[in-house]
Amino acid sequence: MKILIASRNPHKIREISEIFMLPSLEFAGLDQYPGLPEVLENGATFQENAVKKAMTLALATRQWTMADDSGLEVDALDGEPGVRSARYAGEPSDTAANNRKLLMALAGRATRSARFRCVIALASPSGRTQLVEGSCEGVVLTESRGTGGFGYDPLFQPAGYAATFAEMDAGEKNRISHRAAALRRALDAWGRMLASNPAEWCADRRFGKLRPEPDPG
């Protein structure tokens, strides 16, 4: 069975394949489906963006489709930058400018707790959708550390670790990241269904009722 991943990032597709590790599943990226519509991620929440991408592409391809949306939530900033994480400093997306804006917004703040969140949506070929999510708690530092990763990784120190995401090797980061947590929940929620007969699950409505599953933290 083929599942479309709403991404052109080969690293993300490989990460999903490695976590699911089900021989009956084949994962394909957007590059294998030329001519698909661009999906504008203009939702107010991660959930809205993930569902919109998964549902739009599932209906366009008639394939089971998995899509995600993620970002950084800072408690002292009432959850910002949130869904605007990639565009926090404006368009076009500029990582350095985003990080500078975040540091300025937190200047002088004693509370710097934050989390990366990832929401994953799975849509059936008829557009019926479910959600899971994962998170990684931590703090935003007062200065960047490390050269790896991307985005806010040099500023984010996960709880229980001395290193930032940007100071970790890819393997360590991927074990504890918000996306890895969400993918493990996706495997628990959907793995057996996808590896058996998803058409039967849709027929008896065990799949398809939009059901966000909060991260247990």
Q: What is the DSSP string of 116-145?
A: EEEEEEEE-TT--EEEEEEEEEEEE-SS--
69 is catalytic: yes
- Spot the catalytic one: 69, 75, 188, 204: 69
Phi/psi for 81 (5° steps) reads: -80, -15
Give the C-alpha separation, 165 to 86, whole Å. Answer: 17
Q: Is 115 helix (H, G, I), strand (E, B) or coil?
A: strand
Give the C-alpha separation, 197 to 203, whole Å. Answer: 10
Give the C-alpha separation, 188 to 199, whole Å. Answer: 18
Which active-site residues does the annotation give?
69
